[in-house]
């Protein structure tokens, strides 16, 4: 069962199979998490002994460091072989050893678009979206996804591409998923927080393939960026993921926990397999705000949406119009990938109004519209994202 810890996180979109199995990452890496009191060199030296005794040559060239905030440090090892996992796990400086897992973006579908207006109304669509004039001002939103089209007119001037961990070595969003998500968070036409700044980190290639290792590297980059931009408030959106493995205290969970301790809100998607979100990572992580999807036209839970006690909120995720990458136009997609950025944008709005991440999470949960989500929500809290009250608190507002 998901804890009720009030620490906001941007929701990830996690793709998991009902058997909770995942394909290994393409690079065959191993994630070796260090104990809190172990320094890097001690751990690398211990690994060098183990791997050299097994016949591996040039060990140090195969080892890379990953650190998120002050609460998570790990080493990744390429081509170590799963038969060495038990030996590495037994080493004194090691907390946990995990194989790299392949993560994917959720499949999406196209249809007619709804609007943003479900966010500020208690009783269905009313044809408008009212938002604060300063919605998202002073807030950085980190979008860990397939990249984003920084030239698209809906986000141009407020979106920056940081780096590509996908292996494509390109700033181009050749998949389009990340651009659509970014537009929903802060686009001029399609976005919730229309004054926020986006920083896009590419971890998925054109086919929507990534891994747990590339995601950890993205979280590490977010941590460094946040530290380099004092005074800015920060949110992470992760519309991605994979099956939960190795119990609840995975490397991804600990990395996200460390990031929230750094003062970053993290929002994640519940997943698109119509299964218990508690089986999906990072949807199961209590420090994250986990978002399921509804159809804003009738408030029915989406047929694909994951459910259960690990879901914190529902938000629009069916027939969502947002920007189309590598064009000046738009496209319509469905998925909890589309629901999560609505909540990430809402968090950005609340942060721009002076709330802390913890206060923003509390506001969204306590002010959500209760008992309007229709259909079999199977143990999920019946809470629908509502942003109207916070918008109305502003003396100046705009109509869209």
Distance CA 126, CA 117 (A): 7
Residue 3 annotated in active site: no
Per DSSP, the three-state class of 140 is strand
Give the residues across from 313 on adjacent strands: 291
List the beta strands (DSSP E) in 78-193.
94-99, 102-104, 130-132, 139-145, 159-164
Q: Given the residues 177, 276, 312, 390, select the one marked as catalytic.
A: 177
Please say if 337 is a catalytic residue.
yes
**Out of 337, 340, 352, 390, which one is annotated catalytic?**
337
Pair 207, 105: CB distance under 8 Å: no
CA 378 – CA 302 distance, rounded (Å): 12
Find, among 294, 283, 375, 307, the residue nearest to 335 by Cα: 294
CA 24, CA 39: separation in Å to the nearest integer? 28
38 Cβ contact list (under 8 Å, min separation 6): 73, 93, 94
- Choice among 117, 120, 140, 145 that is catalytic: 145
Q: Are 346 and 258 in contact (CB under 8 A)?
A: no
Is residue 386 within 8 Å of residue 120, measured between CB atoms? yes
CA 315-376-389 angle, to 5 degrees, is: 30
Is the distance from CB of 263 to CB of 9 less than 8 angstroms? no
> 121, 25, 130: which is closest to 400 by C-alpha?
130
| Nearest one of 83, 67, 77 to 46, comparing CA atoms | 77
177 flagged as catalytic: yes
Alpha-helix runs per DSSP H in 132-274: 177-186, 212-228, 251-261
Catalytic residue IDs: 145, 177, 337
């Amino acid at each position: 069962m998901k804890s009720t810890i009030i620490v906001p996180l941007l929701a990830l979109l996690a793709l998991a199979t009902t058997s909770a199995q995942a394909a290994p990452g393409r690079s065959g890496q191993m994630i070796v998490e260090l104990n809190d009191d172990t320094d890097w060199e001690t751990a690398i030296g211990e690994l060098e002994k183990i791997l050299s005794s097994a016949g591996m040559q040039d060990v140090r060239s195969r080892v890379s460091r990953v650190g998120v905030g002050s609460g998570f440090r790990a080493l990744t090892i390429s081509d170590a072989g799963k038969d060495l996992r038990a030996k590495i796990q037994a080493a004194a400086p090691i907390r946990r050893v995990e194989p790299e897992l392949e993560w994917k973006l959720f499949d999406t579908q196209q249809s007619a678009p709804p609007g943003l207006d479900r966010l500020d109304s208690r009783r269905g669509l009313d044809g408008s979206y009212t938002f604060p004039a300063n919605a998202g001002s002073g807030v950085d939103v980190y979008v860990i996804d397939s990249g984003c089209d920084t030239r698209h007119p809906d986000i141009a001037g407020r979106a920056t591409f940081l780096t590509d961990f996908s292996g494509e070595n390109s700033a181009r969003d050749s998949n389009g998923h990340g651009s659509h998500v970014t537009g929903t968070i802060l686009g001029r036409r399609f976005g919730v927080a229309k004054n926020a700044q986006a920083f896009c980190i590419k971890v998925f290639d054109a086919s929507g393939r990534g891994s747990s290792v590339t995601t950890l590297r993205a979280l590490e980059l977010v941590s460094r960026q946040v530290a380099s931009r004092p005074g800015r408030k920060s949110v992470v959106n992760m519309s991605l993921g994979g099956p939960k493995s190795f119990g609840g205290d995975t490397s991804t969970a600990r990395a996200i926990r460390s990031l929230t301790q750094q003062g970053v809100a993290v929002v994640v998607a519940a997943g698109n397999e119509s299964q218990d979100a508690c089986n999906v990572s990072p949807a199961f992580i209590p420090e994250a705000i986990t978002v399921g999807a509804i159809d804003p036209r009738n408030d029915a839970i989406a047929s694909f949406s994951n459910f259960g006690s690990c879901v914190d909120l529902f938000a629009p995720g069916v027939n969502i119009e947002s920007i189309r990458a590598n064009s000046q136009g738009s496209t319509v997609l469905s998925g909890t990938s589309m629901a999560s950025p609505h909540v990430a944008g809402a968090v950005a709005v609340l942060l721009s109004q002076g709330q802390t991440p913890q206060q923003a999470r509390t506001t969204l949960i306590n002010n959500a519209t209760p008992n309007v989500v229709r259909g079999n929500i199977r143990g999920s809290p019946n809470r629908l994202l509502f942003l109207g009250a916070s918008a109305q608190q502003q003396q100046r507002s705009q109509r869209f």
